[in-house]
Structure 1
Amino acid sequence: MKCIKTSLIAGAAAAMTMTAPAFAADMPMPVYKAPVVLQTGGWYLRGDIGFSNQKVDELTSPVFTPAVTVLKKEVDAAPFGGLGIGYQFNNWFRVDVTGEYRGGATFRGLDTYTVASNDYFGTKSEWLFMGNAYVDLGTWWGFTPFVGAGIGYSRNTISNWRDINNQTGATAYADTHSQWEFAWAVHAGLAYQVTPNFTVEFAYRYLDLGDFATADMIGFNGQNAAYNPIYLNGVTSHDFKLGLRWNLSPVQPVYAPAYAPPLMTKG
């Protein structure tokens, strides 16, 4: 009897040893999931506020002669604000269209000629409409540097214009005048993604607004001045702005295909 029991125990042990690898091989291997990637494409709204730092390349008139020397052509800084809508195509390219009002900035000019000099004062402002494209340069710890460019049109306005002759005190005035000019810009900045649907931008923009012109000036005698109009040519601005972007598309998590080693069984 003892021999029979010993044989049965030995046989059972041998059977378990032979079948264990097969059971282990038939067990499913663990599945490895890729990290979650947030989908960032879709429509967005934007708002911007900032301040301009403007420059006038040339103060001139059709009748200015070489005897006229321009000594000053300065523009004060002024606030601006705008709204826009855009579309993010992927993680690195987006476009938007914007409308912006650029507040009144005081212009001060001074010229001299043979026997006199003139001070000029006025207020310039703009309605600016642009189409822009941006390239995002990668994201690190939520920060995304970007560059971009834009083209559009600006409605350039001069109001409250005065021309004061410093020798006689005579003053000429001009009504408000507006004109449309081609505008272009280049952008550079840094964006920070506060939440998946909300981003803050700190940006610099170089902006070319084209030219401005006054209406015809009326002199102290009620007659049109002989040197109408006065032009502010080549107006540019170094803008610094804060922008906010709201993503209108729900942010969906995207998974890369899961990986699992092939299932192997022992035949």
Structure 2
Amino acid sequence: MRKLAKRVSLSVFAVAMSTAAAFAADMQAPPFVEYEPLPPVEIGSGWYLRGDLGAAAYSGGHGSWLPVASADPEFYNEHIENGLVAGAGIGYYFNEKLRGDLTVDYHGKAKLTGNAPCTELNCSTIETLNFSAWTLMLNGYYDIGTWNSMTPYIGAGAGMAYLRTSDYTTTKGYAFGDYGKVNFAWNVMAGASFDISDRLKFDTNYRLVSLGTARTDHPTTNPSENPVKFENLYAQEIRVGLRYDLN
């Protein structure tokens, strides 16, 4: 009896295995899907860093008291000393012709000197102060073309300028306090870059920057006295620098 049961069990198992094998043979293999690898992500492609140093010749000023009235004459014989400018930025190449960058520049202290009339007859004072500026500009450039590793370009930008006056002195009257003021600023420029290597370029350019208006605080010894403003300040800059392509 045990032998019979054993034979029956073996027979059933054999039939089941045969059926499973036949079913598996009839099944179609799953389709093979070939996945393409994702393209590598290029970090830094199209981006560049820049740094610049230069000299600035300033114009404008036209010092006068705030608010301007007929009894508040303007300064005369004004002179602004030249100063230094340094900056850095990050930029991007949109294509072979167009690029843009965001730059921060610092204009070191420059001395402004002028004469101011007195209330007495045939009287004038000598007024002096220092002013400095920070600018934040968004710039765009058009690269005209490349000849023998030289690429001339033109550009323009807009942003803001923070002007600060300090160290005001006068030969008669009140000394005015230090003051900082934020203005709208813009620039236009023309220059050329020279290829040093595949990634490094030497850059030289001329730039005209409109810095806006600077002003002093009220006199330290007489807070009721009006401050002094200096309008239409411009900087004409000659700069040299380096651009390093990150790609």
Give the whole-Å Cα distance in 1 for the aligned partners of 2:74 and 2:181: 26
2:80 maps to which of 51, 75, 80:
75
Which amino acid is the alignment partner of residue 223 of structure 2?
A: N
Give the whole-Å Cα distance in 2 for the aligned partners of 1:118 and 1:70: 10
Give the whole-Å Cα distance in 1 for the aligned partners of 2:74 and 2:144: 47
Please name the residue that 1:168 is paired with: none
Please name the residue that 2:94 is paired with: 89
Report how many residues are paired.
Answer: 200
Which segment drifts farther, 52-61 or 189-198? Answer: 52-61
Which segment drifts farther, 138-147 or 57-66? Answer: 57-66
Please name the residue that 2:162 is paired with: 155
Write out per-residue CA displacement over residues 183-239 of structure 1, whole angstroms, 9 at most, x where no aligned residue: 000010011011110001110001100000001013xxx33363x210000000111
Alignment of 1:1-267 (within 5 A): 42-61=46-65, 62-63=67-68, 65=70, 68=73, 70-113=75-118, 115=121, 116-165=123-172, 171-218=173-220, 222-224=221-223, 226=225, 228-249=226-247
Give the whole-Å Cα distance in 2 for the aligned partners of 1:160 and 1:148: 35
- Cα RMSD (Å): 1.7
Return the offset for 1:176. Answer: 1.6
Which segment drifts farther, 41-50 or 208-217? Answer: 41-50
Give the whole-Å Cα distance in 1 for the aligned partners of 2:71 and 2:188: 35
Higher normalized contact order (CA 8 Å, seq sep 6+, divided by chain length)? 1
TM-score (norm 2): 0.77
Which segment drifts farther, 64-73 or 97-106? Answer: 64-73
Give the whole-Å Cα distance in 2 for the aligned partners of 1:71 and 1:204: 29
SS state at 1:187 partner? strand
Please name the residue that 2:9 is paired with: none
TM-score (norm 1): 0.71
Which structure 2 segments of 5+ residues have no match? 1-44
Which amino acid is the alignment partner of residue 197 of structure 1?
A: R
Give the whole-Å Cα distance in 1 for the aligned partners of 2:195 and 2:138: 23
Which segment drifts farther, 149-158 or 66-75? Answer: 66-75
SS state at 1:73 partner? strand
Are 1:207 and 1:237, in contact at CA under 8 Å, matched by a contact in 2?
A: yes
Which structure 1 segments of 5+ residues have no match? 1-40, 166-170, 250-267
Which amino acid is the alignment partner of residue 237 of structure 1?
A: A
Are 2:63 and 2:74, in contact at CA under 8 Å, matched by a contact in 1?
A: no
SS state at 1:53 partner? strand
Give the whole-Å Cα distance in 2 for the aligned partners of 1:67 and 1:237: 27
- Sequence identity of aligned pairs in percent? 29
